[in-house]
Amino acid sequence: MKRTKNSLKITAILCVFFFLLSCNNTVGDSDKSSVILTVTKIQGINLEGGDADYLMSDVQTEASYLANPVTVTLEAKFKNPAPLVPGTSYKTSIMIDRYTVTYTSPEGDPVPVAFEGRLTVVCEVDASVDVEIMAVRAEAKNAPPLNALIGTLNVIWAVAEIRFIGHDLAGNGVEATGYLTIYFADWADS
């Protein structure tokens, strides 16, 4: 009898434990949403200020530190292109409310610290939206390792992972990730 009571207690505790474990709704769990968010383009700038698929980041421009914005195109699509119910629901629209930028160096060089930004953008299904975000903060240029580039000919090659995080209007997490190559240096001011 005592053995049966202990077995029932252990079973009850395990049931509660697994129930609580299943309640973990992490941000970015996009399996439940019927919509997928995609980064279709990240537009950086070259040394002349023209559009490029990379970013040339000058660590010091005429004795000042300037942030580097980029334009990102995001697109929302149905996971199942032929929904069972005709028409789209407003609940399938995606609200993007933050982004993170994390740098890595393919060559193993030190890179600036990661950061997070906030924004409010709605992306409708079967449409795209352009957002301008900071790819490099001005503060990062006045801190190691970027400030060590000032007055030198050295270049740090880095890749920025830009992750957009939000949810559809039904509350299901959605996220998308894009990558941008960045060349940090004290480029000649002209």
The tens place of each residue's pLDDT in the chain, 190 residues long, gives 667 666 666 665 655 555 444 444 444 455 788 899 999 999 999 999 999 999 999 999 887 899 999 999 999 998 887 655 555 566 889 999 999 999 999 999 999 999 999 999 999 999 999 999 999 999 999 999 999 999 999 999 999 999 999 999 999 999 999 999 999 999 987 6
Question: How far apart, in Å, are the Cα atoms of 116 and each of 5, 62, 71, 85, 137?
Answer: 51, 27, 16, 37, 11
pLDDT (0 to 100) of residue 29? 53
> What's the token pair of residue 55?
């970013």
Least Cα distance to 169 among 124, 117, 107, 130 occurs for: 124
pTM for this one?
0.79
- pLDDT 10s digits, 72-128: 999 999 888 765 555 556 688 999 999 999 999 999 999 999 999 999 999 999 999
Cα dist. 172→73, 92, 165, 177 in Å? 21, 10, 11, 17
Q: Which residues contact 58 (CB under 8 A, 6 or more apart)?
A: 66, 185, 186, 187, 189
Distance of CA 143 to the CA centre of its chain: 23
Contact 41, 51 (CB under 8 A): no
Separation CA 36–CA 80 (nearest Å): 10
Cα distances from 10 to residues 6, 14, 150, 174, in angstroms, run: 6, 6, 64, 37
Pick the CATH number of 30-185 from 1.10.3470, 1.20.120, 2.60.40, 3.40.190: 2.60.40
Label residue 10 left, alpha or beta by phi (over 0 means left) and psi (-120 to 50 means alpha).
Answer: alpha
- 99 in Cβ contact with 163 (< 8 Å): yes
Task: Label the pairing between strands 54-58 and 173-185.
Answer: parallel
